[in-house]
Amino acid sequence: MNVNDFLKKKKENRKITIVTAYNYPMAKMADDAGIDAVLVGDSLGMVMLGYDNTIPVTMEDMIMHCKAVSRGLTNAMLICDMPFMSYQVSTKDAIKNAGRLMQEAGAHAVKLEGGKEIADTVKRLVELGIPVMGHIGMTPQSVYKFGGFKAQGKTVAQAKKLIEDARALQEAGAFSVVLEVVPEELAEIISKELYIPTIGIGAGNKCDGQVQVITDLLGMTAGFVPKHSKKMADLYSAGLAGLKEYIDAVENKGFPDESTCPHLKDETLNEIKKG
Ligand code: KIV
């Protein structure tokens, strides 16, 4: 899967599937399942590192997790988020940091949050050979500006701005754009307007593809799960049951039993005992 396949899938009206992953086993599972692309999202700050939002995530965090994910992939495209303030200060910073994600961490593309205001940076990255995925709507790095994780594009002015942002990203050379928590009707208008694919999350099913956070999708945590995600498995409950069984086995059932127990040869044991 590469940037051309993204465009091809849209042309052929075939949906694009993306899931986040943050480590080797998650990446391997997604790749083995046949996912089109894996996103090392800066959501890792919340679902892996326990922060309240994505603001504290650093370049070093992204590089470490992206490296692990890249070792788990064979077929899927690897897209890595650029964390807060790694691309907003200057285009020079953006180039240096995007370059690190590709060169050190194995990313095939990077994702930046924002529309018109980052279009020049996107253009320069693409000119230099760095594929860029855009991300507009409820962009988590702007959580303080929005006053919370709130749906965007619900007023005429907001919707018009998002349409302009999507156009600006396409013109700048982005190969696709994520639409996060925007009304389905707006997502449909943008998807029809653009020739690059739109990837929705909490944006209804009229986008050209979908992205989901793997911990929500597979029920890996007991905590809050956003309304727009669907639990396709319950790994938390399965893990809890397995761990309880392990505790019971150690405490009450003589685990490990003979079948997994290593032994010394009699003569070796006798020698040892002789001192
Ligand atoms: O960080 C992330 O996981 C994301 C997706 C929700 C699109 O940006």
pLDDT exceeds cutoff 90 at 222: no
Residue nearest to atom 4 of ligand 1 (CA): 41
Token representation of residue 243: 């761990």
For residues 35 and 20, state if they share a domain. yes
Residue 136 to residue 116: CA distance in whole angstroms: 10
**What are the beta bridge partners of residue 209?**
16, 199
| Atom in ligand 1 nearest the alpha carbon of residue 199 | 7
pLDDT exceeds cutoff 90 at 112: yes
For residues 39 and 74, state if they share a domain. yes
Residues 63-104 pLDDT 10s:
999 999 999 999 999 999 999 999 999 999 999 999 999 999
How confident is residue 164, by pLDDT bands cut at 50, 70 and 90? very high
For residues 209 and 256, state if they share a domain. no
The separation between CA 147 and the C-alpha centre of its own chain, rounded to angstroms, equals 23
Residue nearest to atom 5 of ligand 1 (CA): 41
Average of per-residue pLDDT across 185-201: 98
pLDDT exceeds cutoff 90 at 35: yes
For residues 181 and 269, state if they share a domain. no
Domains contained in the chain, number: 2
Residue 179: what pLDDT?
Answer: 98
Give 119-124's long-range contacts (Cβ < 8 A, gap of 24+).
119/168, 119/169, 119/171, 119/172, 120/91, 120/172, 121/87, 121/91, 121/94, 122/169, 122/172, 122/173, 122/174, 123/172, 123/173, 124/91, 124/94, 124/95
Rg (alpha carbons) of the chain, rounded to whole number: 23
pLDDT exceeds cutoff 90 at 223: no
For residues 169 and 256, state if they share a domain. no
Domain of residue 117 covers 3-233
**Contacts (Cβ under 8 Å, ≥6 apart) of 50:** none
pLDDT exceeds cutoff 90 at 62: yes
For residues 221 and 243, state if they share a domain. no
**Residue 142 CA to ligand 1 centre (angstroms):** 13
Q: Is 54 helix (H, G, I), strand (E, B) or coil?
A: coil
**Residue 13 CA to ligand 1 centre (angstroms):** 23
For residues 255 and 224, state if they share a domain. no
For residues 55 and 100, state if they share a domain. yes
For residues 50 and 148, state if they share a domain. yes
Residue nearest to atom 3 of ligand 1 (CA): 41
For residues 217 and 123, state if they share a domain. yes
Average of per-residue pLDDT across 175-197: 98
**Residue 157 CA to ligand 1 centre (angstroms):** 25
Residues 8-17 pLDDT 10s:
999 999 999 9
Q: Is 60 a catalytic site residue?
A: no
Residue 201: what pLDDT?
Answer: 98
Which protein residues are within 6 Å of ligand 1, measured from CB? 20, 39, 41-43, 81, 135, 178, 180, 201, 211, 213
For residues 22 and 146, state if they share a domain. yes
pLDDT exceeds cutoff 90 at 118: yes
The percentage of residues in the chain with a pLDDT greater than 70, rounded to a whole number, is 100
| Torsion angle defined by CA atoms of residues 166, 52, 62 and 79, in that order, rounded to the nearest 10 degrees | -30
Q: Is 148 helix (H, G, I), strand (E, B) or coil?
A: coil
**Residue 42 CA to ligand 1 centre (angstroms):** 6
Cα dihedral across residues 137, 142, 145, 147: positive or negative:
positive
Question: What CATH code is carried by the domain that includes residue 13?
Answer: 3.20.20.60
Q: Is 136 helix (H, G, I), strand (E, B) or coil?
A: strand
**Catalytic residue selected from 180, 188, 245, 271:** 180
pLDDT exceeds cutoff 90 at 146: yes
pLDDT exceeds cutoff 90 at 157: yes
For residues 84 and 200, state if they share a domain. yes
